Structure 1
């Protein structure tokens, strides 16, 4: 079975998003469930590391406060991994109020951590959901993003 880290993350997200269980399962429980679901140990380890990165203290992400006329300038590495369509979609999410500048930086960090050679808009949508879900007080932004992920007409205009 050939999966990537995002497949493992999406499985976990879809499995535990509606779970009423508290507290969250520990990594050994998650690892066991993922093995039973057929995922490989390398992808499991990478996905669990990715989740650790999502919940780490993101105060170390350096960015300057934005003004209304500010523009996010992507580095060469970021532009290489996030094509113009992906960067445009991220900008669109900021413009409609789903992502704050801090959340955008967390999103870019987590997208690059996927180590996927090509990152598309569908992948971005799922990672945005995970970022918003991991942050308290983001229920409205999460609900709006969930509508974008599951809407039938994917022809968004931005």
Structure 2
């Protein structure tokens, strides 16, 4: 199962479309900022399932956090602002462990983070629409095969 992870699109629909066409995922996940971008992606690629959460720029949108199950793996989706990820990842890790998640996906910082430790896979795909560092749009991939989880980040070629 191939999951395409997008975050912080900030109205840049074209970059998301390019990533979807390039990766041909089984599931798309949008981690907020801008939630309406995710709804546009869902309209454009109605044959690919989409999960989305709202970010700090998505005033009034819900939900801001979601727990989903994919191939028997629990995945916590959040933007990260409620877990204060710009100050560190401890709150995020606690939230994931409290929900017995195998994977936690977050955004908000616009910085790539990809690590597996203590049986928890953690991924921030960076920003597909408003990259700050290193200045290139990026996205994440999660591969779930039988009992294994593989994380990867990619830069979008412009």
Given the two structures, how large is their TM-score scaled by the length of structure 2? 0.30
- Give the TM-score, by structure 1 length: 0.30
Instruction: Name whichever structure is richer in helix by fraction.
Output: 1
Q: Who wins on radius of gyration, i.e. which is larger?
A: 1
More strand by share: 2
